[in-house]
Amino acid sequence: MQEEEHVSGLKTDLCKSGGTFCVLVGVTGSVAALKLPLLVSQLLQIPGVDVRVVTTEHAKHFYNSAEVSVKLYSDKDEWELWTQRTDPVLHIELRRWADLLVIAPLDANTLGKIANGICDNLLTCVVRAWDTSRPLLFCPAMNTAMWKHPITAQQVKGPWQRYRLLSALSISIFRNQMRHLRKHAHNIVLSIQLAPKQIET
């Protein structure tokens, strides 16, 4: 019974209405995650935009979920949803729903995992299953020592270049594909300044 409620709740929550632009925000365990409520509320101010959030467990430490006005999905939801073969798989439903994935903030740990194809939680599974014709924008946030470490440079450059389309990461593709949104969304992401810098591959 509880499982049926999970499935019907998901179907309702991820029901797309025509013309809506669906933004999935991924949030990881950086102190910058405290800006999640602000990021969500500013994205929601853009006409025609709908937002959902995928959070890692460590990210939860930094924000108050009561201040986030949209549905937050985490690992527990992924595992509770699936009990039998006919049940939906949450990370697949989320990648189907989202027109854009913004990972803000992207911490060093999740950057390293994504760069190596690891998918051991809901967020990294969404990324691993991502439709590379859709944009993925990421906003790294870490201590300067971590950012300047040679491993970071490798992880930001090398693996992403293999996925040419996943340089859908880049703001340039973000711009091209979402002409009607680009000014608002781009400015919002930049103005929130979660990251030391935006990366374009």
Q: Are 38 and 10 in contact (CB under 8 A)?
A: no
Q: Which among 4-12, 81-89, 107-115, 192-200 is the span making contact with ligand FMN, rule CB under 6 A?
A: 107-115
Q: At what angle do helices 150-162 and 108-115 cross, to 10 degrees?
A: 40
Task: Answer yes or no whether residue 30 interacts with ligand FMN by CB under 6 A.
Answer: yes
Closer residue to ligand FMN in complex, CB, 155/170:
155
Task: Answer yes or no whether residue 58 interacts with ligand FMN by CB under 6 A.
Answer: yes
CB of 49 to ligand FMN, least distance (A): 25
Neighbouring CB atoms inside 10 A of 12's CB total 9
DSSP notation for 63-94: S-GGG--S-EE-HHHHHHH-SSTTS--HHHHH
Task: Answer yes or no whether residue 31 interacts with ligand FMN by CB under 6 A.
Answer: yes
3-state secondary structure of 127: helix
Task: Answer yes or no whether residue 110 interacts with ligand FMN by CB under 6 A.
Answer: yes
Q: Which among 56-64, 79-87, 91-99, 184-192 is the span making contact with ligand FMN, rule CB under 6 A?
A: 56-64
Residue 64 CB partners (closer than 8 Å, separation 6+): 37
CB of 119 to ligand FMN, least distance (A): 12
Task: Answer yes or no whether residue 107 interacts with ligand FMN by CB under 6 A.
Answer: yes
Distance CA 79, CA 57 (A): 14
Task: Answer yes or no whether residue 142 interacts with ligand FMN by CB under 6 A.
Answer: yes
Task: Answer yes or no whether residue 109 interacts with ligand FMN by CB under 6 A.
Answer: yes
Report CA torsion sign: 177, 156, 25, 72.
positive
CB of 172 to ligand FMN, least distance (A): 25
Q: Are 106 and 136 in contact (CB under 8 A)?
A: no
Residue number closest to ligand FMN, CB atom: 29
Task: Answer yes or no whether residue 74 interacts with ligand FMN by CB under 6 A.
Answer: no
Q: Which among 9-17, 28-36, 69-77, 79-87 is the span making contact with ligand FMN, rule CB under 6 A?
A: 28-36
Q: Which of 97, 41, 109, 101 lies closest to 69, judged by CA?
A: 41
Task: Answer yes or no whether residue 155 interacts with ligand FMN by CB under 6 A.
Answer: no
Residues that bind ligand FMN (CB under 6 A): 28-32, 56, 58-59, 107-110, 141-142, 146
